[in-house]
Chain A
Amino acid sequence: MASIRLERVWKRYGPVEAVKALSLACADGELLALLGPSGCGKTSTLKMIAGIETVSEGAIDFGGRDVTALDPAARNVAMVFEDYALYPHLSVADNVAFPLAVRGRPAAETRRAVDDVLALLGLTSLRDVGVRQLSGGAQQRVAIGRALVRRPEVILFDEPLSHLDGDHKVQLRAEIKRLQKETGVTGVLVTHDQTEAMAMADRVAVMDGGVLQQLAVPQALYERPANLFVAQFIGEPPMNLFGATLATDASAALTAIGEGWRLRLPPSVAAALRRPLPPEVVVGVRPEHLTLEPLDGAADAAGLVGQVFFREPRGDVDVVLVRLDRPHAAAIGPLGRDIVTVETAAGADWTPGRRGAVRPAPDHLHLFDAADGRNLAGEDTR
């Protein structure tokens, strides 16, 4: 087992800079996720850790050993791919045994190692079954078994769940986390799916445009996103964003003022902001921290007021999209326009066309500098 450390790593493909000055460390026994949209540099990073892509600049070490120039074979790294890459004509046991068999290990030792891994994965009863007969989830477990059997220092998971259906995905994601913790192997997971990254990893590195945006435990990404990119990338449905300016009101309380609305910041939120305060800010509120109140008859037209555009029932909650009356009220809105997303109790009567007032929970506001997008409460480095 080993820790992994990247020191100012660059990857260039001709003029394209896929990874820019990436520094991060993954502790021994940790599962670290590399998360971001396509083209963010996460897969290039994984390939450099595996040794199947060269490092353009910078260094990678495993447990203090510089591996930057080493072949993949000399790194003792195992990989799990999204399409499983099993030998279709072999049984479960023979697939798992394969890495040991090609290295010419004694049969008895191989058998013992395979038995251990199959037991760990709950695949003992399927050992002689051909892998073609297995479901996608079971095939991926076999692929993980094949990766574990030769006791690698590091396991790299490249989108391991993306070929699986909903329920299988949910089951396997917990299974991979359990296995990684039980074996104590250091793991790096590449995914574009925030739920997978949050659910499985100890810490998540969010990347965009080849640049690390934030590296933190899942809860910190959600509770204190470092910048507007992370704020919009983490959370489903995404965070609502409102353009505003900051002012101090008559009672010296800090107030955010937007197009047709104003919101006094509670002391707990105001005290956490880095000074000096910028003139223009973006106020972020997650959909579950907004409430929607019916506007009956001649109610006030001030505040975040609008008309229901769409209601999505999701079983345990409903997601309601509200189009605001004042088009600029949410200029940087969650959808880049005047629509606000609110999570309400399931079955509430929010049919399209109904009017309502959107009210944020003041204790759950996020404030960002409109100029550079950074969170004004600073970075959470948990």
Chain B
Amino acid sequence: MGRLELRGLGRVFGAHRALDNVDLAVGPGEILGLTGPSGAGKSTLCRLVAGLDAPSAGDVVLDGTTVTGVPAERRRVAFMFESYALYPHLSVFDNVAFPLRAPSAPRLAPAALTARVHELLALVELEALAARRPAELSGGQRQRVALGRALVQSPRAWLLDEPISHLDAKLRHLLRGAIRRRLVATDAPTIWASPDALETLAVADRVAVLVGGRVQQVGAPAEIYRRPATVDVARLVGDPPMNLLPGTLADEGGRLVFRHPALRVPLRFTPRGGAGSEVVLGLRPGDLRLVDGDASVRGEVSVWEPLGKHAILTVKLGSDVVKVKVTQPRGWKPGETVALDVSAGEPALFDAATGSALSPST
């Protein structure tokens, strides 16, 4: 019970391969985060799982049974659309109650139905607005109605497509916790899609990163953050994401060193390929430190962005730029020279040709 599998799932629109051979499995009560840039195939995947669209290849399997040909209304998958799709003539209460009153839903006594709807309205902080119509609500409030209408169900699987993207920061933090508790209390597997990689890291047990219709990496949040499998994943994760610098590997007295016109970084491991390889070095903005005096790495500040608890400096290193997260309260002017320590943290290394992470050779 409670297992969702995608087997070799593909969807082609004309010449465009929107989804390409996707294999994923989500276990009972598990939340799988699905992230990727816009156009990566996240919504296409959700629509195939919900049964709103048919795959060009592969299958959707729920609890061991292939449901690929089963119409949406018989799959019992609770799908929250990004576009909300609320019923304009119904109140907030009746919109949320709608799935419970559907002919296919198990009959509930009126008192039980009312209690259930109010429980959900409390969860999405809409109790005070129960009598309003969707037209009288803000965008964020409408999104919460749609969320309530999805969460009121007892489905075989949950599909949430950008469920909290239009809420303000305060509510997002509260609802992440509240929704997660609701979802994991059931047996049903969940796919939570969002272009905001940090949101999926925050709510999911595992995260799948989709780029160009293909799964680039599936892993625990910490793994996605610490060891991105490809350059594309590295580009999506972090605030701001990892700096990516092209360079070559050189042998310096028996030790492999990453070389870029503006900096050199000794490696702590020997990757496949070795000296002479064209690579991309990944440096996290928080791992770069500004230091006083002479340092081997010097760059010119091009932009200073003060964000309150920290600031982001954009620093020119030769023909490339890096972003540096700094906590010093002072300001910087464009054109100022700064010295950087690049030895902290754990840099990532990617093959320049394939974009794949280079791991130690065995």
Contact = CB atoms under 8 A, between A and B. Distances in A.
Interface string A181-215: 10000000000000100111000000000000000
A87 to B, nearest CB: 22
A314 B201 contact: yes
Interface string A215-256: 001110111000000001011111000000000000000000
Measured as residues with beta carbon below 8 angstroms from the partner, the interface class of chain A is 35 or more
A237 B309 CA distance: 11
Contacts of A166: 37, 195-197, 236, 241
A286 B309 CA distance: 9
Given A174-B314, A200-B305, A313 B201 contact: yes
Given A166-B197, A178-B303, A195-B307, A219 B173 contact: no
B305 A198 contact: yes
A198 B314 contact: no
A18 B195 CA distance: 33
A315 B239 contact: yes
Nearest to A347: B222
B305 A177 contact: yes
Nearest to B303: A174
Contact of A218 (B225, B238, B308): B308
A237 B169 contact: yes
Interface stretch (A21-29, A61-69, A111-119, A333-341): A333-341
Contacts of A314: 198, 201-202, 239
Contacts of B236: 166-167
B173 A222 contact: no
A334 B170 contact: yes
Nearest to B138: A38
B329 A219 contact: yes
Contact of B235 (A167, A218, A221): A167
A170 B240 contact: yes
A310 B180 contact: yes
A38 B237 contact: no
How would you classify the secondary structure of chain A's contact residues: helix, strand, loop or mixed?
mixed
Contacts of A71: none
Interface string B133-175: 0000011000000000000000000000000000011110110
A159 interface: no
A88 B308 CA distance: 39
Nearest to B36: A165
Given A173-B305, A199-B307, A347-B222, A313 B202 contact: yes
A167 B237 CA distance: 9
B138 A316 contact: no
A310 B170 contact: no
A313 B199 CA distance: 9
Contacts of B312: 174, 199
B221 to A, nearest CB: 5
A379 interface: no
Measured as residues with beta carbon below 8 angstroms from the partner, the interface class of chain B is 35 or more
B323 interface: yes
A170 B237 CA distance: 12
Nearest to B222: A313
B324 to A, nearest CB: 12
A199 B176 CA distance: 26
A178 B169 contact: no
Contacts of A313: 201-202, 221-222, 225
A309 interface: yes
Contacts of B235: 167
B266 interface: no
A310 B176 contact: yes
A38 B139 contact: yes
A57 B14 CA distance: 56
B173 A312 contact: yes
B218 interface: no
A236 to B, nearest CB: 5
A19 interface: no
B302 A178 contact: yes
A232 B170 CA distance: 8
Contact of B307 (A218, A286, A334, A347): A218
B177 A310 contact: yes
Contact of A177 (B195, B303, B308): B303
Given A38-B138, A218-B306, A234-B308, A335 B173 contact: yes
A341 B173 contact: yes
Nearest to A314: B198
B244 to A, nearest CB: 10
A37 interface: yes
Interface string B320-348: 00010000010100100000000000000
B65 interface: no
Given A167-B236, A222-B307, 10 more contacts: A165-B195, A166-B196, A174-B303, A178-B314, A199-B306, A200-B305, A217-B306, A236-B169, A312-B202, A313-B225
Interface of A: 37-38, 165-167, 170, 173-174, 177-178, 181, 195, 198-200, 217-219, 221-223, 232, 234-238, 286, 288, 309-310, 312-316, 319, 321, 334-336, 339, 341, 346-347
18 contacts: A166-B196, A178-B314, A198-B306, A219-B329, A222-B308, A232-B170, A237-B169, A310-B176, A310-B177, A312-B177, A312-B202, A313-B202, A313-B221, A313-B225, A314-B198, A314-B201, A321-B173, A336-B170
